[in-house]
Every structure is written in C-alpha cells, then in structure tokens.
C-alpha cells in the first residue's frame, strides 16, 4: 500500500500539494516498508477512529433510522421507506423552517455581512482607539449563544427589562417583539447578528490588512477616489474572504439551534422555529426518532449540496489560490 518511491498522486498537478519533506522521504527508501506503514498507522489511528466512530457513523445511523418509524428504543423494525421524508416536506412547520432559513440567509447577506464589512473598513482607518473598538466589537463572539440568549431574554423581559424602558421613550411596545409572530424572526436575527457580526468584521479586517499598501497607493496615484479604490481594489481582493463568510453564514443558519431554543423555543406558533429545533423537538421530546433523523439528513444534504455547489462554482479559484499560496509562506 505504501510505496515511498512511487508517489504519483503527490507528484501530479499542483506542486504545492507535495510536502517539503517529500524529497527526504523518497531518498530514505532504505527504511523498511513495514516500519513506515506502522508509523503511518500509529499517527493516523486516533484521529481516524474518533472521526469514523463519532462523525461518520452518526450520519450513517441517521440515514438508516430515517427509513423507519422508530421511537429510539430497541432496534428499528418498522420500515416505512421514504415516508418520513414525504412527511417532512408535507409538514407546514418543516416547510416553514426551510422558508425561515432562507429569510435568515437573505437578512445575513443583506444586513449582517455588509455592516461587518463597513465596520472593518472603518477600523482600518487610522483612528485613535480603534483597537479598543475592535476588542469590544468582537467580544460577543466569545460569549456562548446560550448566555447571549438568556441575557437578551432578560433585556426584553416585560416590566423589568431594558427593552421596555427604551420602547417607552420611543413610544413603542418592546414586550411584544418576541411574542409577535411577525417580528420574532427578525428579533432573533438581530440577536444572532449581535453575537456574530464581530466575527465577520474580524475576518474582513484581517483580509484588508493583508492587502499590500502599494496597491491603494497606486490607485490613488492614478486618481481613484476612495470609493473607486474600494470598489476596484479592496472589494475584489477581499473576494475570497467575502465568499467564505457567505459560506459560513449559510452553514451556520442551517444548523442554528442554541440561540432559538433558549430565546423562543421556536415559538410563538413556530414563527421562529428552525430545522434543528424541529428535529430536536421530534427527536428528544416526542421520541419520533425516525422522523427526526429524516430531518437531520435533510439538513445534512442541504449543507453538503450547498457546500459542493458553492465550492465548485464560487470558491474554486479561492481554494486554488489558498493552496498555491501555502508554499509561499515558507
């Protein structure tokens, strides 16, 4: 299996995939093969065992269980084919979950990411105290979703919360934003953004600081205004980071759970429910494990298909770039 002298796959194509140590490994052909194979096994086994047993196996179990009507106890026996899937796609709650995921993605792409980008550009300016601003903006990222959600539950709690007071100043009624099916999803989105915009801002800022100064100087020399420089120099060069942020944002939305579970439990009348919350309700509260597994698999396929298409179509160049750049860091 492991032939140190013939390594066609590493030699072919992108030179960056060939590790720097390869040359030495090849010249060391006299090392006994069995020893080398043993080394590989020793180094790979812990990671591989953990990964296969706790990441891959669950996906397999879920796909199997999704074909059964099963309460989670004993072995699944009542095979029902794809009924769980047809049920999910016929269920208004689950269809609503899909719709709400789409709404959240659109909100993130049109509000959260542009705001984060704007703030990153702002903090890239020579501004006194910008490191303090940066520290504060990013801080919510380290708070857990649960802590954040409980805090905001209390901020907006009727009578004792901050929300009430501020709403009174504005002449509105804050107590209802989590109780009103029309506003609750937006409220959840705002709190998710509160926690996560700093992450994206940080990523954009790091990428912005990686752009060589000369490029902007050249643009200015050529008479570009600051907007033109942003539009034609900064934005294209931030492309890879923007695209991966969109990716993270979509994947994060598909699995959104903690925040919603603690803030609203998915209510009122499912108005803020997500796929993960629906899955959790059926799997852990109503013991319809077969049905909940089908929802899990749909979530998984959504992420996988999205990821594959996105990487193929949108991020292809970026990955190539990232791989070829690796060699240059030496």
Interaction with other proteins in 95-124: which residues (CB under 8 A)?
119, 122-123
Consecutive H or E run containing 68: strand 68-69
Count of residues that bind other proteins according to CB under 8 A: 112
Distance (Å, whole) CA 147 – CA 279: 22
Contact residue for other proteins among 101, 107, 202, 315 (CB under 8 A): 202
Decide whether 10 or 103 has the Cβ nearer to other proteins.
Answer: 10
Q: Residue 3 phi/psi, 5° resolution?
A: -110, 110
Instruction: Restricting to residues 224-243, name those near other proteins by CB under 8 A.
Output: 241
Note whether 139 binds other proteins by CB under 8 A: yes
Binding residue for other proteins, selected from 135, 172, 215, 218, defined by CB under 8 A? 135
Interaction of residue 176 with other proteins, rule CB under 8 A: no
- Distance separating alpha carbons of residues 329 and 125, to the nearest angstrom: 27
Task: Kindly state whether residue 329 participates in binding other proteins, applying the rule CB under 8 A.
Answer: yes
Task: Rule CB under 8 A: say whether 244 interacts with other proteins.
Answer: yes
Q: Which two tokens stand for residue 79?
A: 């095979």
Using rule CB under 8 A, residue 32 touches other proteins: no
Q: How far apart are CA 58 and CA 286, in angstroms?
A: 20
**CB of residue 230 vs other proteins: minimum separation in angstroms?**
15
**137 part of the interface to other proteins, by CB under 8 A:** yes
Q: Report the run of H or E that residue 78 belongs to, with start and end.
A: strand 78-79
List binders of other proteins among 53-92 (CB under 8 A).
53-55, 57-62, 65, 72
Sign of the dihedral through C-alpha 164, 167, 172, 177: negative
Cα dist from 276 to 174, 195, 210, 261, 298, whole Å: 27, 19, 37, 9, 10
Q: How many helices (H) and strands (E) does the chain have?
A: 18, 2
Considering the rule CB under 8 A, would residue 140 count as an interface residue with other proteins? Answer: yes
Is 203 near other proteins (CB under 8 A)?
Answer: yes
* Site membership for other proteins, residue 151 (CB under 8 A): yes
Q: Which residue has the tokens 């709690």?
A: 157
**Distance in Å, CB of 234 to other proteins, minimum:** 17
In the window 262-321, what residues touch other proteins (CB under 8 A)? Answer: 262, 275-276, 279-280, 283-284, 289, 292-293, 296-297, 299-300, 303-304, 307
* Cis status, amide bond into 268, omega within 30 of 0: yes
């Amino acid at each position: 299996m492991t032939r140190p002298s013939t390594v066609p796959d590493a030699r072919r194509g992108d030179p960056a995939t060939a590790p720097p140590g390869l040359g030495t490994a090849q010249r060391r052909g006299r090392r006994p093969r069995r020893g080398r194979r043993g080394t590989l096994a020793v180094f790979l086994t812990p990671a591989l065992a953990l990964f296969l047993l706790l990441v891959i196996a669950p996906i397999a179990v879920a796909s199997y269980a999704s074909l059964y009507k099963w309460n989670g106890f004993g072995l699944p026996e009542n095979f029902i084919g794809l009924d769980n899937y047809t049920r999910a796609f016929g269920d208004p709650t689950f269809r609503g979950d899909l719709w709400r995921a789409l709404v959240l993605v659109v909100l993130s792409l049109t509000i959260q990411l542009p705001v984060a980008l704007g703030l990153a550009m702002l903090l890239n300016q020579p501004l006194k105290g910008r490191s303090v601003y940066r520290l504060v903006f990013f801080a919510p990222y380290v708070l857990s979703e649960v802590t954040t959600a409980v805090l905001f539950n209390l901020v907006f709690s009727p009578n004792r919360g901050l929300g009430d007071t501020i709403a009174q100043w504005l002449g509105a009624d804050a107590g209802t934003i989590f109780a009103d099916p029309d506003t609750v999803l937006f409220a959840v989105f705002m709190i998710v953004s509160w926690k996560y915009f700093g992450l994206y801002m940080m990523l954009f800022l790091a990428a912005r600081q990686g752009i060589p100064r000369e490029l902007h100087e050249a643009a200015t020399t050529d008479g570009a205004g600051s907007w033109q420089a942003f539009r034609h120099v900064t934005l294209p060069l931030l492309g890879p980071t923007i695209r991966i942020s969109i990716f993270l944002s979509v994947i994060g939305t598909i699995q959104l759970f903690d925040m919603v579970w603690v803030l609203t439990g998915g209510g009122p009348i499912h108005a803020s429910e997500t796929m993960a919350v629906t899955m959790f309700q059926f799997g852990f509260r109503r013991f319809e494990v077969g049905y909940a597994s089908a929802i899990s698999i749909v979530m998984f396929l959504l992420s996988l298909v999205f990821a594959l298409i996105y990487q193929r179509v949108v991020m292809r160049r970026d990955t190539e770039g990232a791989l070829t750049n690796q060699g240059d860091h030496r």
